[in-house]
């Protein structure tokens, strides 16, 4: 699914209006992220990410993590392990290194991918409830 481009020439994701959290370009975060709804990252993240929903990794993002989500859309740099229950989309100019486990994988022309891919039934992501 191709997104349309906005005034800045950047591709606008169909889900862009529904994003609930955002890690902007130039931001850095290390740790564990558990979320509901849609999250977009354009900064740097290192750690673990868990959700039943969608994670969007923008072109300026640099992510090193173990990720377990419903849907993952990557346009930036990623290194680690991915389990996506619904779908993984790799959009140019993404650079991906690690392992991907998903029932559906879409790779655009121009993506650099050095990964092992396992397709088929995935395990449900861990609980997304935040501990008290």
Of 81, 108, 88, nearest to 11 by C-alpha is 108
Do 85 and 124 contact (CB within 8 A), yes or no?
yes
63-116 tens-digit pLDDT: 999 999 999 999 999 999 999 999 999 999 999 999 999 999 999 999 999 999
Nearest-angstrom CA–CA distance, 73 and 105: 10
Do 99 and 82 contact (CB within 8 A), yes or no?
yes
Tokens of residue 82, six digits: 């991915």
DSSP type of residue 16: G
Nearest-angstrom CA–CA distance, 53 and 42: 18
23-30: average pLDDT: 87
The residues near 117 (Cβ < 8 Å, ≥ 6 apart) are 99, 100, 101, 102, 105
Residue pointed to by tokens 């290390």: 30
Q: What does pTM read for this prediction?
A: 0.78
27-37 tens-digit pLDDT: 889 999 999 88
């Amino acid at each position: 699914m191709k997104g349309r481009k906005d005034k800045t020439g950047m591709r606008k994701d169909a889900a862009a209006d529904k994003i609930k959290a955002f890690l902007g370009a130039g931001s850095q975060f290390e740790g564990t992220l558990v979320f509901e709804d849609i999250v977009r990252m354009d900064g740097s993240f290192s750690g673990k990410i868990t959700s039943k929903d969608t994670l969007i990794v923008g072109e300026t993002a640099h992510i090193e993590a173990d990720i377990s989500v419903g849907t993952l859309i990557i346009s930036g740099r990623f290194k680690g392990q991915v389990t996506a229950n619904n779908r993984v989309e790799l959009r140019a100019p993404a650079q991906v290194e690690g392992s991907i486990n998903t029932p559906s994988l879409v790779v655009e022309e121009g993506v650099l991918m050095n990964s092992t891919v396992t397709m088929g039934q995935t395990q449900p992501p861990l609980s997304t409830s935040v501990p008290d």
